[in-house]
Structure formats: C-alpha cells, structure tokens
Structure 1
C-alpha cells in the first residue's frame, strides 16, 4: 500500500474510504490505528470511515486471540475486516458452447461458481438469461446485495464497456447484451473481453499472482490474450488490445470463424484441434481436451497433432514475447488438460524463435482457475470502482 497516498480534502471522502477498503483487501484485517499507519490517513478520519463502512455492512470488527494495544489509552484496538456476507459482484461469461457465473464477495472469496453447456436447441443468450435468473435468485435468498455485474465475451468491446464491436464466434453486436442483463438484475452491467477478464483473475487469484508482467491466452474456440502490467489490464487506445487470435500464424489455408484464412486460432483453437484429431466436442472445453489427452496416450497420430499445435502456440508466443516481454504466460481453457503435450513443443518452438540469448524466455504456466477464470475476473472487475473510490457503498 506504500504507493497509495491519502486524498486530504473533504471532497475526496470516497477515495479515502476506498484506500481503507484496498488496505483491508490486500493486507488483511487491522485495527483502526494500524489502518491509519498503512494509509497515512489521520486516526480520526479512519474512525469515521470505518464507522460508515460498518453501517453499510462492508466491514466488521472481529475477535482476535489477543486484542492488540497500540500504546494509546483506553480499550484495546479491535481488528476490522471486510465482510463477505453482504456485498457481492456477479461475473458472467458468454461463450460459444458454454455459459458460466461466479459470485465474488467484497473480501475476495468465491460464494458461487457454476458453468453449463449451451444446449443445441437454445441460443447462447437464452442460456445466459436462464443462468442469470437462477444465480440472482440464490443471491437474494442468501441476503447478498449485488454491486453490479460484468459479462465476459470472446470479442472486441468498445471503451464504454457496454458495446460489443465484433464477436465473430457469437454473432453479437451493440449494447443489447448489457441492456438485457441490466434489465434482469437491476444493477449496473458492463461487458468485457473474456481474455482480459481471465487475465485479471489469474493476476489476482491464480497462476500469475506475484508476476508484474503477465500474458494470458484463452483456450476455447477462439484465442485471445489478456495483458496485465503490475496488476492492471493493458487495453490499448480503443480497448481492443490482445486480439491475437487473428494473427497470421499456423496453417495459411485454415478457415477462421472471422471468414479469413490463416488466423492463429484456426490452427490452435479448440474446434481446429478436434477436427484435426477427428473427435467430437463434449459438454465443455475441458472435457473435450481431457478426452483428446486420454487418446493421445495410445495414439501417435493424436500426439503428432498436439505437437504441431504446441509448435504453433510457441511460435505465436515468441512473437508476442518480442513485443510485450512478459515474465509469465498463462495458458487457460482447453490447454490445461493437455498440459505438457502442448507446453513441451511450445517451449521448444519458443526457444528456437527467440531472437537473442539475452532475451529471457517467459515462464509458461497452466491456468489454475478452470473454465470459470473469465467469470471470476469479470466478478473481480465489478469491485474495481469500489476500490478506486468511484462507487460508494455507504451512500445507500
């Protein structure tokens, strides 16, 4: 928290409250005196902020084995912690063949996590609508207050965080999806790129925790990248950074969902891999990939396909590493069950393509968050305005 400084004027009360909330989220429970030391806010200011947050149900005093004393007269200071039973954020993912939901509380704990395949006779929007209604009902039954919701989609989302500009694998465009979910929930709703959401989740909860510069690659029908620098997403001028699936890498004759040929995802996306090994798609990308991995154990032709996929993965990462210089690259989605069947050839290809021995090969890691990574990151992003002081939990 050393980089955070207090906002000393009366008009910046929300930012001071956010400073306290961030301290509790990042560093854990603390007494009011300790919070004053962490944030450099006056003790009296911290006392007022904590009192307001207690009334709002955002924080609560907790019992400790030995209540701490700070040298001041009066009763011992009691630690304050974020409450996890009141305020929650809803993260949703809408993908080609599945939908997912994660409910995350203010303290950063997952309260609900669910994914389900999209039935052939249902559209993806109908599948998402059904999931949203069920999750919202469960939140209400648990007495949880929704701060907002974020929907992760495999496509380009404009800077207003509502308008889908291009999602070739879904066929959606415009603000309609945000409007639909907002009508169902009655709370503010954002739409965000799925790779960005998953990258945000990995940097806060998963395989990229502690890495200052990380790159995340989705592993679904499409291939996208999320770029994280010091815990924050890099979105580019129009918010479209990370649209790597359409780089011209791999089989130049392979037809992509975007209508062109030779795109990276047309060679390493899930549908491309299943077609190459002659296997059907199952209920989720993870199940499909697990079946491919099982077959690869006894079928040299399948292993050969995965070696070729891994080489194409490594070639693309080499190009991205030369531009972005990440210290960690996290592979998610269907890449996880395939593991070293893809990672081994990818490392070999990456080493072969690095321009100089001085260039450090980024560490390749598998996602630890499962198919709900994007939904988890979407839920975490709901609280971004709270921790930035843009949304005040005490105002209601």
Structure 2
C-alpha cells in the first residue's frame, strides 16, 4: 500500500476545523516520539485531549501506518482502574525524512523514519580541483537515495539540505556561503526539479542542523541549552535554547566563524582578516601541522591524530589551536550561557589534543566560570551530524500536523 502526503489546505474541511485536527494529530505524534508508547488513556492525559479525540486520531494514524496499537498478543499497559489498555507505538517505518549536506569536499545523505531510526547513511567525496562545487554531486546523491527508498516501498515526505552558510528567510535560497562560492543560489528549487516536484525541499544552515541532531540523538540530549560548533573548513555554531534552534532576527544567528577573534593577520575565505575560522578551521589546522587534506574532514583529522600520537611538534601545534578555540568559546559562552558545548567534525578525532587547552582558556576567561563552566563535549554523531539533523528537520511538518499521511490503493 502506498501513501499520499497531503499538505495543509489540501482538504475540503473548514479551515478552522482542519487546522485544529492537524494540530491535535501533531501533538499526539510528538508525545509518542518524545515520551514513548502509551495507551489511549495515557495519551489523553499527556496531551490534554479528550479520549474520544485520541481514539479518532489513533485510528487515522494507524490507517496511515504512522502508529501501531497493540493487539491481543501485545503486552498490556495498566492505566488505572478497569482493564489494561493496549499501547500505541510510533511506527512509521515507511515514512521518511531525507537529510542532505553539501560541503566544500563532500556531500552526505541520511534518511530517518518517523520513529527516528536511521535507514540510510551515505557520503561521497567531491573533487572540485580548487573550483567552487556545483550542485551536480548533491543532486545525484539525493536522487539516487530517494529512488532507492521509493523502490523499497518508503514515502519520502520531504528533504532538507544543510549548507555551510547563510540561508534566506524563505528556507530555500543560500544567501551567502563563501566557502562554497554560492551567493543567492536557489538550491531547494534545483532539487525539487530533480525530484520531479514530488518532494518538497528546504535549506538550512549546517550548524543548526547538527545542533538539532545532537539535541535529539547525540551528546546533548540531557540538556535544554547547548552550543554546537562545526569542525569543517568553515566554523559555524548551532544554538539550542529550550530544545529549539535559535535563529535570530534575520535567521543568521550562529555565524561565529567570522567573529574577529582569530589571528589578525590570517586571511579568511570570506576575504577578511582575523576571522576565527582562519585560525581554527580545518585548513588552518592543516597548515599548522603541515599535512595535506584527505577525502573528508574526519579522515583528515584521523591522519593528524595518528601523527600527533608520536610527534611532539604536531601535538604542540594542536595545543595552540586549542587555545585559539578556547578564546572564541569563552566569548560565546559569556553571551549565550550554554549548559554544554559540543564540538563536531574534525575536532572529534583530535579531542584529546585540543580540548584540554580549550577548556583551560574557557575556565580562565569566562567571567562566570566559578558559578558555571559549560562542559565541552565531543560529538557522537561523526561527519553525518548535519545530514541527520536535516533529516529531522524534514519531518517537522509531520510532527506539527502540517501534512497528513493517507493510504492509497
């Protein structure tokens, strides 16, 4: 049985009634995702909805294969007086969000189902020979992965692309990505055309996506406020406050790589001097340790870590990088007061050489260090963090009730 994805406004029901129904459906889905299986009675208690409303929603979601409700052979759940109830469980193996990432030297794809299970992970190197990357490799990867999912009986609800740069308010256009050489590129439209108009696509900043992934799947699941720092050629930050991404007035919050806190003589890819990423970005690190770049930031960092294990000069260079990293983190922590700072990308394999120096500077320079010192954590999600967060973003409309999943013959 296939599925049809209907977006808001696609039915003939009165706008108010349809909107309330969608919002209630999204509320139930979010409860099941956040707090796990529950009986109809328990769902009514969690959401504040009437039990009859819960019954209608569960029946619709079960028909759309988004949930399953335990049968006579399933373990029962006690919900107080009366007969034990049957647990409603988020299923949705066939409902997919597709996350994509494009960077200077690689493209990546991650697909997750409605329950947050990862079904596809793929990375491809991009050889640009010193030229700005095109979208050709991204489009090829996206269409290959989507076609494979569809052939496997899955429904790709939507796609989100993570990019290392500023994204316009429309969530579709890359306003400025200096490391990609993109300015005003309509990435979402290009992908939707490749998808034959059957998969709505949005664009978001890579650090925002990675921060969302860490908050939902990684090392920041236990805190409400965190700061994620990318570790690629560019340096960006994703800010999570009360479980949601902080975007700022223009949607550009987190462009920390271009803070003027780096070496004032270092030339950045944006054309300015003294940007932080010109001191702590991937290529700055490679110049400091005098090694060539490998296929991906992760492989590059692993090669550097291997040398650092036996080479004192490499360790010394990484310690200096850690000091520069700590200075920028102290500035950010003083402003944002995160509970945890998560380092991603190339920082992860080099953590033992970089983090101690960064932590010491953070403790020394943060005015509130004696009262609260944010813990520096290493990402557990690897190079696919941004694509994973993009996949979560792609399912947003399902969890808000903006789309309805209906079975078709």
Compute the TM-score of the two structures, normalised by the length of structure 2. 0.91
Match of 1:189 among 165, 178, 201: 201
Provide, for residues 28-48 of structure 1, a one-character-per-residue CA deviation record: whole Å limited to 9, x for no partner. Answer: 112222211221211111111
Distance 2:336 2:272 in 1: 26
1:124-152 Cα shifts (integer Å, max 9, x gaps): 41111111121011101211101100000
Match in the other structure for 1:44:
52
- The 5 Å alignment of 1:4-43 reads 10-11=17-18, 12-43=20-51
In the alignment, structure 1 residue 67 sits paired with structure 2 residue 79: no
Distance (whole Å) between structure 1 residues aligned to residue 407 and residue 49 of structure 2: 21
Q: CA offsets per residue over residues 169-219 of structure 1, 9 Å max, x none?
A: 001222521111111222110000000000000001101102111000000
Q: After alignment, is 75-84 or 183-192 more displaced?
A: 75-84
Contact map agreement 1:214 1:327 (CA 8 A) in 2: yes
Matched, 1:150 2:160: yes
Identify which of 319, 324, 333 aligns with 2:336: 324
Residue 142 (structure 2) aligns with = 132
2:177 is matched with which residue: 152, 158, 167?
167
Aligned-CA RMSD value: 1.8
Correspondent of 1:384 among 368, 387, 396: 396
Q: Give unmatched runs, 5+ long, in structure 1.
A: 1-8
Alignment of 1:332-351 (within 5 A): 332-351=344-363
- 1:394 CA drift (Å): 4.1
**CA deviation after TM superposition for structure 1 residue 69, in Å:** 5.2
The 5 Å alignment of 1:211-360 reads 211-360=223-372
1:89 paired residue number: 97
C-alpha deviations, 1:202-260, integer Å up to 9, x for none?
A: 00110110211100000000000000011100000000000000011221111110011
Q: Structure 1 residue 72: deviation in Å?
A: 7.1
Q: Aligned equivalents of 1:117 and 1:262: distance in 2?
A: 29
Matched pairs, number: 387
Residues 253, 113 of structure 1: CA spacing in aligned structure 2 closer, same or farther, 3 A cutoff? same
Change (3 A) 1:211 1:76: closer
Q: Distance in 1 between matches of 2:232 and 2:369?
A: 33
TM-aligned CA distance change 1:275 to 1:304, over 3 Å:
same
- 1:150-173 deviation digits (Å, cap 9, x = unpaired): 000000001111121110000122
Contact 2:63 2:407 (8 Å CA) reproduced: no
Encode CA deviations 1:336-386: one digit per residue, 9 max, x unaligned.
000120001001111121224544111000000010000000000112222
Give the secondary structure class of the aligned counterpart of 1:15.
helix
- The structure showing larger relative contact order (alpha-carbon pairs under 8 Å, at least 6 residues apart) is 2
Distance between the aligned counterparts of 1:251 and 1:68, measured in 2? 61
Aligned position for 1:116 = 124
Where structure 2 has 5 or more consecutive residues not aligned to the other structure, the ranges are: 1-15
Q: Offset of 1:58 from its aligned partner? A: 1.1
